[in-house]
Amino acid sequence: MIGGTFDVRIYSIERRERANGYTYKVVWKVGTKKHSKTYPTKALADARRSDLLTAVKRGEPFSLETGEPISYASKAADTNWYDFAVEFVDKTWIPSSGNHRKNVAKAMTAATIAMFRTPPKQFEPVNVRTALREWAFNTKQRTNPDRPIPDDVRVILDWVQRNTLPMSAWEQTEKVDMVVTALGTLLDGTAAAASSISRNRRIMNLAMEYAIRHGILRSNPLPKGKRKGEGGGAPKVAQAIDKRSLLNPQQVTALLEWIGQRPRRGPLYKAFFAALCYAGLRPEEAVALRVADAWLPEEGAVDEEGDAVWGEFVVHEAQPEVGSQWTDTGKVHEERDLKGRAEGDTRTVPIHPDLVALLRGIIAKYKLEPTGLLFPGEGGEMLAGSVFRRVWNKARKAVLAAHEFLSPAGKRVYDCRHTCLTAWLNKGIPPAQVAEWAGNSVPVLLAIYARCIVGQLANYLKQIKTIRYVPEAA
């Protein structure tokens, strides 16, 4: 019998003590090679051992390679990983956002390259990655009758289909480790960011669950936890922001002033970044704002105490930039509801009087209509991320000292929002109110910004000073 044997021995379950309890190990021997599987509960281990015993009693041959009954691996052995990955992408395409589609394609590309039988020496690596990411794992591109797959791409994908391992390869620990390593490594061989690794692992776990539901795999082969010396589970992702990424008020003022002095559209870009720095908007929310979404008090309006009246944004949509090949509409931006909110939900955000003045200025200067975008790009199109990131990077380089420019301070446009929300919290505004304005939940808000709240320690100490557990000294 090629690749199979009836020489199988099932051992008793081994109980092992751990710091947080016990684990249960099922051990069996196929031919001369031992195999094992560890479970968190005895019931799971008993079920696994019973499955193996049943297969032995039925007279099923076991695979010398995987140690599993050959009947277990038949569907996995008959299913090509590349074909499975394409099917998984197609099944998840419609309900997914553009960003998720793009992330799935990236994860599937890395995993597929790790599942090659041999490296494709006849193709440039960049061409293989592009063919997989932009065509094989992009349902819209691959199935578009008006744009057939280019011949050079088709040649690569045909090679991939013929030279990708079957799903039974997931039974091999060495191959699983190779895929896990690929999901956590950049093209230059360095480790990817923890957030990227966690995202790739989540996507791959979804793929494994899909395989289990369709009877291709019996269990999820991906490692569940971090094990010393091994790839283990995904690394922890720090929720709290890096305090060094925050800008101080003087830096924000200088950056906005420099941007505002740029020729042609400087005032508009200044108002855009001010909306992030003073209203805490996400960039994808700011680019989607219409003029009518901003309630602006009349010029010179003051309240009963003589202070300038604040305005108000009504934020109701976001337009993240994901690329035209990943959206259903073919546009670069994808219209989405607000992050973390119910469909059609809105939130209101106060507009600082200084920002009110800036907005009034650009509406008049650029003759913006109520139904038009508040921060339009060239030709009235939605402001592109590549444009406002380029403006921001130039401003940082021109305004910040050399050591500040090289630091994380304001390195990402999103740091403008972080700076705003931190400032609100440091002024003593209740977290519940900040969360409402920011569009976060209170737990998420505190997890992200707790380390950056300063200036209130002295007041807190005064409040607890009167708590006494022992009598005062005579």
In a domain, 134, yes or no: yes
In a domain, 229, yes or no: no
Determine the pLDDT at residue 218.
Answer: 79
Give the Cα separation of 89 and 141 in Å (integer): 12
Are 69 and 97 in a shared domain? Answer: no
Give the Cα separation of 176 and 171 in Å (integer): 8
Are 273 and 405 in a shared domain? Answer: yes
- End-of-domain residue from the set 20, 41, 76: 76
Determine the pLDDT at residue 229.
Answer: 40
Q: Which residue has the tokens 């119910």?
A: 342
Are 128 and 52 in a shared domain? Answer: no
Distances (CA, A) of 337 to 284, 291, 334, 344: 11, 18, 10, 6
In a domain, 222, yes or no: no
Q: Report which of 20, 158, 3 is spatially closest to residue 69, judged by C-alpha positions.
A: 3
Are 72 and 84 in a shared domain? Answer: no
Determine the pLDDT at residue 28.
Answer: 95
In a domain, 83, yes or no: yes
- End-of-domain residue from the set 76, 111, 130: 76
Are 186 and 106 in a shared domain? Answer: yes
pTM over the 0.85 mark? no
In a domain, 238, yes or no: no
Give the Cα separation of 329 and 333 in Å (integer): 9
Q: Sort 186 into a burial class: Cβ within 10 Å, 0-12 / 13-18 / 19+.
A: exposed
Are 431 and 288 in a shared domain? Answer: yes
DSSP code per residue over 200-215 = HHHHHHHHHHHHHHTT
E-strand ranges in 158-244 read none
- Walk along the chain (474 residues) in steps of 10 and give the mean pLDDT of each run: 80 88 92 88 87 89 82 77 96 93 96 94 95 96 92 96 93 89 89 88 95 85 61 57 91 97 94 96 96 92 85 94 91 83 84 95 95 92 94 97 95 95 90 92 85 61 64 56
CB atoms within 10 A of CB 114: 20
Are 338 and 207 in a shared domain? Answer: no
In a domain, 192, yes or no: yes
Tokens in use for 180? 């896990």
Q: Do the Cβ atoms of 349 and 280 come closer than 8 Å? A: yes
Determine the pLDDT at residue 66.
Answer: 75
Are 296 and 172 in a shared domain? Answer: no
- End-of-domain residue from the set 18, 41, 76: 76
Q: Do the Cβ atoms of 234 and 205 come closer than 8 Å? A: no
Are 292 and 389 in a shared domain? Answer: yes
In a domain, 464, yes or no: no
**CA 102 centroid distance within chain:** 11
CATH code: domain of residue 416:
1.10.443.10
Determine the pLDDT at residue 75.
Answer: 77
CB atoms within 10 A of CB 278: 23
Q: What is the domain count for the chain?
A: 3
In a domain, 254, yes or no: yes
Give the Cα separation of 204 and 195 in Å (integer): 14
Are 156 and 277 in a shared domain? Answer: no
Domain of 60, in residue numbers: 4-76
Q: Report which of 376, 364, 350, 367 is spatially closest to residue 294, judged by C-alpha positions.
A: 350
Are 181 and 259 in a shared domain? Answer: no
Are 86 and 151 in a shared domain? Answer: yes
